[in-house]
């Protein structure tokens, strides 16, 4: 039985492009508006488990590694900075909601639910730009906001910064 190129093409679906996505966030402490963050690189979350390793139910014989809990993996994203550096201010304000950066509060660390938000990473098809999936990061917050590198020799480059996010769970829809 021979397979024609047309038959093969009709059975094969297009691949998901790694360059068609957007990040939508409603930062805490703002006016409640969602913002579309210019994101140069993003990570879809992986899945990892905490496990009991080298478990032998009968003391000897076969050894098992048994997963017992989901362990959310940190994701990293590279964001570009807008002309007025408002996104930089937004992340500083968000960080100040996590731990008092100004030293004005007697208690430095804040409550988790005062700074976590849900974030949507929308992924699109290549050709018609239809949304294929939304990855919702539930109870997400930045754990690291990297410095923005500036330099006189970078006159044609866009300022950007990397953010590592943690979250409690995620959904894919």
Copy the structure tokens of residue 122: 């929308």
What domain range includes position 154?
19-46+73-172
Kindly give the residue spans of alpha helices, DSSP state H, lying in the chain: 5-11, 86-98
Domain annotation covers residue 155: yes
Predicted pLDDT at 128: 73
Token pair 């208690």: residue: 107
Give the mean pLDDT per block of 10 residues along the chain (173 residues). Answer: 71 75 87 84 91 86 90 93 91 92 83 93 85 94 94 88 95 95
In a domain, 137, yes or no: yes
Instruction: Tell me what pLDDT residue 125 has.
Output: 85
The answer to whether 94 and 142 have CB atoms below 8 angstroms apart is: yes
Residue 3 lies in a domain: no
CATH number at residue 152: 2.30.110.20
The pLDDT of residue 110 is: 87
Closest by Cα among 88, 131, 97, 137 to 117:
137
Residue 11 lies in a domain: no
* Calpha distance 89→80 (Å, rounded): 13
The total domain count for the chain is 1
| Residue 57, in any domain of the structure | no
Query: What are 37's two structure tokens?
Result: 């963050």
């Amino acid at each position: 039985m021979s397979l024609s190129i047309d038959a093969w093409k009709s059975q094969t679906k297009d691949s998901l492009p790694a360059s068609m996505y957007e990040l939508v966030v409603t930062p805490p402490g703002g006016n409640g508006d969602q913002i579309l963050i210019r994101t140069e690189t993003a990570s879809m979350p992986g899945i990892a488990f905490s496990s009991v390793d080298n478990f032998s139910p009968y003391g000897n014989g076969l050894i098992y590694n048994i997963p017992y809990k989901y362990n959310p993996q940190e994701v990293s994203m590279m964001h570009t900075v807008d002309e007025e550096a408002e996104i930089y201010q937004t992340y500083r304000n968000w960080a100040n909601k996590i731990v008092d950066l100004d030293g004005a509060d007697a208690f430095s660390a804040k409550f988790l639910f005062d700074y976590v938000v849900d974030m949507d990473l929308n992924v699109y098809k290549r050709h018609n730009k239809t949304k294929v999936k939304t990855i919702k990061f539930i109870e997400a917050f930045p754990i690291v906001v990297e410095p923005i590198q500036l330099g006189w020799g970078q006159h044609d480059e866009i300022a950007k910064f990397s953010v590592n996010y943690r979250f409690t769970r995620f959904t894919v829809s």
